Chain A
Amino acid sequence: MSEVPGAAGPDSGHAGDGSSASGPAQGMPRWVKVFVGIAIVLAVLAVVALLAPGDHGPGRHGPGMH
């Protein structure tokens, strides 16, 4: 491991050359399309979970609505 990872922002180890990991690819890379697909599925599941009656609903996230 060349650098210590973080969770929110880019590492600065290669900050002097932000292009080092970008490559010549044009358009959206396949791995991004996979991520977007997974995100859409998870978003649909989250909406279903929020709208469904039971343990997890919108009332669980707000004060005075329980």
Chain B
Amino acid sequence: VLSPDEARILDGLVVASPAASAIAGAAGLRRARVRGVGMEFHEHRPYQHGDDPRSIDWAVEARLDQLVVRVARADGDLRVHLMIDVSQSMTVGAPTKLASAVKLAAALSYVAVERRDHVGVATFDDRIQKFLLPGAGRPQLFRTLNLLEHITAGGESSIDRALLQYGAAVRGPGLAVVISDFLEPGAGLDGLRFLLHRGLTPAVLQVVAGDELNPQIDDSVEFIDVEHQGRRLVVTAGMVAAYRQRFAAHVQRLRLFCVQNSISWTQLDASVPFASMVSQLERSGIFSPVT
């Protein structure tokens, strides 16, 4: 799925995520949102009965004549849920949107495993098709890549339905990266809301084809809906402007939802090279350099 050159691009990157998505108590490299056992000082608080006497800060007691304990920030790891839309609509474009989605998922898996995060993969069209529970370590990476390598396109898409199904089975915290074109009337917003409700932090990677962003129609073209083969529509060059307005409004609706819910949103052109996609993910905050 990833060539050695492409893997080399990913070295030095880490899946950046908000603290809410880290799980406290694990021996990860990330800061959890909760207090707990960790190396990094978080705050002082008055001693209470039952506190470990080893946590009392004796220096403060000597100076202030009060018993206070040091509270450390708990260390944690990140669970990355990769959800890949494999519906028929992802099979258009050159290269196909599905191929780009697989590349992105492989990159996220690679980076997550390399940084000792947990990663799991699910494919969906109008429901969950394949599912790999999040796990860590090289074996999990191999399992993930193996699943990605054997992805096949499914049927019609229903993002909401698939995300509802996934959210019912999985709960947070964790980073749920949804890779899809989001080109359905509801834009999958209900599914994203449900993931939030389940304590997951969604991240939206909208993969679109170049022809969807900028349709090239000389005179007239007969469009065939790839998910509904019987549906055809002759479009003319004169309709392009109106299409662009509709498409932009749809994307704006999805983007506004993400902004309002502090969800990362990234639109990727499936036709751009892999290195450009990685750079775009860095700019949008999905990837960040290792500090």
A binds B: no
Chain B residues at the A interface, C-beta cutoff of 8 Å: none
Chain A residues at the B interface, C-beta cutoff of 8 Å: none
